[in-house]
Amino acid sequence: MRAAWYTKTGAAAEVLEIGESATPEPGAGEVRVRLHASGVNPSDVKSRRGRPDRPMAFPRIVPHSDGAGVIDALGAGVPEGRLNERVWVWNAQWQRPDGTAADYVVLPAEQAVALPEGTDFAAGACLGIPALTAWRAVTLAGPPAGRTILVAGGAGAVGHYAIQIAKLKGARVLTTVSSPDKAAEARAAGADAVIDYRREDVAARVRELTGGDGVDLVAEVDLGGNAALLPQVLRLGGTAAVYGSNTPEVTLPFGAYLFRDIALCFFLVYELADPVRRDGIAELTEMLRAGRLQHRIAARFPLERIAAAHEAVESGRVTGHVIVDLA
């Protein structure tokens, strides 16, 4: 099979290799998926780029955790009915050496989820990290119905889904963006109000939009950048669902958090508890079946141009998902 891999970390064009690799066979409880699309996420790019304090976990890594395709082989114990099933996959490369940047991937059967008819493979390759992260962020503090939620970075891959999911679940949604074009994207996703953080005072606008009370929940992509802002936009007793930070260490204004009774809740989509993940998958599946989720594919590349796909994500200039096409 064709595959892309790296044996050392560094710049995409310098370390990513493409060639032939042995086609894997599924073991007991596993399925093999003939991949049609592989999603490139910021976490994939960061892992490939590497850090001095974090050596590679395996000698050779086929990148990417998200993808979609068709089950073409079954391991012992997997029901025959799953053969030829259209699926999307999650955590393909999490704590494993072989991800979805290849013609085939083998993984536990539960990590291949039925992809509803009407949802194409490129959209399926966007679900594992971005859509599940968005779902968890807006539901972490309880049912969103009747609440006001601020989605930080509403034009990003996670933010775009978070706006939609929160609205579908009955929330009022405010969001922050960095440009008029991104504001239009966020409004198209269903945001009730959009705040351009480069041109507006976010805290003042949130107070204005909430009658001075603040929001019930913030879906936070960058705690390091927004630590001082959160107590200014959250209501008394509000919650920040934190799934990212652009800095490894964060300084918090303790008093501001204390006197606003703010809860900081952290989560990592790769490590969701099984019951939580099952709930998220079930709800996303219902939304997909109903055709109620928009999927914003910004750029597509063949496997032979995987380095360019990684560079597109790293550039920060792409608004939406980057997909590597495999079939």
Tens of pLDDT along the chain (327 residues) come to: 999 999 999 999 999 999 999 999 999 999 999 999 999 999 999 999 998 888 899 999 999 999 999 999 999 999 999 999 999 999 999 999 999 999 999 999 999 999 999 999 999 999 999 999 999 999 999 999 999 999 999 999 999 999 999 999 999 999 999 999 999 999 999 999 999 999 999 999 999 999 999 999 999 999 999 999 999 999 999 999 999 999 999 999 999 999 999 999 999 999 999 999 999 999 999 999 999 999 999 999 999 999 999 999 999 888 899 999 998
Predicted local distance difference test score (pLDDT) of residue 53: 82
Task: Give the length of the chain.
Answer: 327
Predicted local distance difference test score (pLDDT) of residue 178: 94
Predicted local distance difference test score (pLDDT) of residue 140: 97
Predicted local distance difference test score (pLDDT) of residue 273: 97
Tokens of 307: 């380095």
CA 231 to each of CA 228, 237, 245, 261, 287: distance values in angstroms, whole numbers, following the listed order: 7, 10, 17, 9, 33
The answer to whether 166 and 173 are in contact (CB under 8 A) is yes
- Kindly list the structural domains of the chain, giving each domain's residue range(s) and its CATH number in brackets, ordered by start: 2-126+295-325 (3.90.180.10), 130-270 (3.90.180.10)
| Nearest alpha-carbon partner for 44 in 306, 325, 317 | 306
Predicted local distance difference test score (pLDDT) of residue 147: 98
pTM of the model: 0.96
235 CB-side CA count, 13 A: 16
- Name the phi and psi angles at 287, rounded to 5: -65, -40
Q: What is the pLDDT of residues 77-87, one digit of tens each?
A: 999 999 999 99
168 CB-side CA count, 13 A: 21
60 contact partners, CB below 8 Å, separation of at least 6: 5, 6, 7, 97
Q: What's the chain's Rg over C-alpha atoms?
A: 20
Helix, coil or strand: residue 49: helix
Q: Which residues pair with 292 in a beta bridge?
A: none
Predicted local distance difference test score (pLDDT) of residue 317: 82
